[in-house]
Amino acid sequence: MSSHALRMKFIVLAAATLAIAACEKKSEQPISSAPPPPQQSSNAAPQANVNEQMYAPGSQEELEATAGSRIYFAYDDYSLDARAQATLQKQAEWMRKYPNKSVVIEGHCDERGTREYNLALGARRAESAKRYLVSLGIDEGRINTISYGKERPEVVGSNEAAWAQNRRDVTVVQ
């Protein structure tokens, strides 16, 4: 009974959260709203353990499989939410495993900003991931950053779902 109530509570809460998130998206500057975590690329994660051996050690594929290469941001935001931090922690693990590998973190934006500003915002996004990795003990010299602004979207589309997937950092093994 109590577990049922708890479950109800959770569902209501989740619905409310979703509603708020949706509202915030419509109201034009959801600066701090949590980014809807796109499922797509993290699909690889569950299979990771199973398939680990299949990837060349230290390869991009292995990073994607073991840690995930992408983290996502809210509109016009560059702060790292819990999910992004978790991904970066796994990336840091991976980097510790391959101490002679370095990476480039690409910062990307959705199409809803001006070109110049998005270049700057992409740089901020890449930098915040870099800072976080450094704080986890990764050598700064192993992490390069580049901003692509809105020039290289992950998904072609002019809707919230597409924009959410495009507001991202991609960690690329060099």
Partner 1 sequence: MAHPHTSSRLAGLLCLVILAVAWLVPAHPARANLVVDINNPTFEPIPVAVPSFSAQSQVPSRLAEMTQMGDDIAGVVAADLERSGLFRPLPQKSFVEQGLVPERRPRFPDWKAIGAQGLVVGSVNFLADGRIEVLFRLWDVYGQQQMTGVKYETTPDNWRQIAHRVADAIYQRLTGEEGYFDTRVVFVAESGPGTNRVKRLAIMDQDGANLKYLTKGDFLALTPRFSPNSQEITYLSYFNNKPRVYIYDLETGRQELLGDFQGMTFAPRFSPDGNQVVMSMEKNGNSDIYIMDLRTRKIRQLTDGPDIDTAPSFSPDGQFIAFESDRGGGQQIYVMRADGSNVKRISFGKGRYKTPVWSPRGDLIAFTYTSGGVFKIGVMRPDGTGERMLTESFLDEGPTWAPNGRVIMFFRGYPSRGGHVGKDELWSVDLTGRNLRRVPTPGDASDPAWSPLLR
Nearer to partner 1, 93 or 139 (CB): 139
CB of 30 to partner 1, least distance (A): 12
Nearer to partner 1, 90 or 112 (CB): 112
* Spatial CA neighbour of 88 closest among 74, 69, 101, 62: 69
Strand 143-149 versus strand 103-108 pairing type: parallel
Give the integer Cα–Cα distance in Å for 108 and 93.
23
CB of 46 to partner 1, least distance (A): 25
CB of 53 to partner 1, least distance (A): 30
CB of 174 to partner 1, least distance (A): 11
Nearer to partner 1, 66 or 130 (CB): 130
Nearer to partner 1, 66 or 125 (CB): 125
CB atoms within 10 A of CB 173: 18
Q: Which residues bind partner 1 (CB under 8 A)?
A: 28-29, 76, 78, 111-117, 119-121, 123-124, 126-128, 130-131, 145-147, 151-158, 162
H/E stretch holding 160 = helix 160-166
Written as six digits, the tokens of 15 are: 């619905």
* Residues counted in the chain: 174
Written as six digits, the tokens of 142 are: 């192993």
Q: Contact, 72 vs 170, CB < 8 A?
A: no
CB of 17 to partner 1, least distance (A): 23
Nearer to partner 1, 43 or 114 (CB): 114
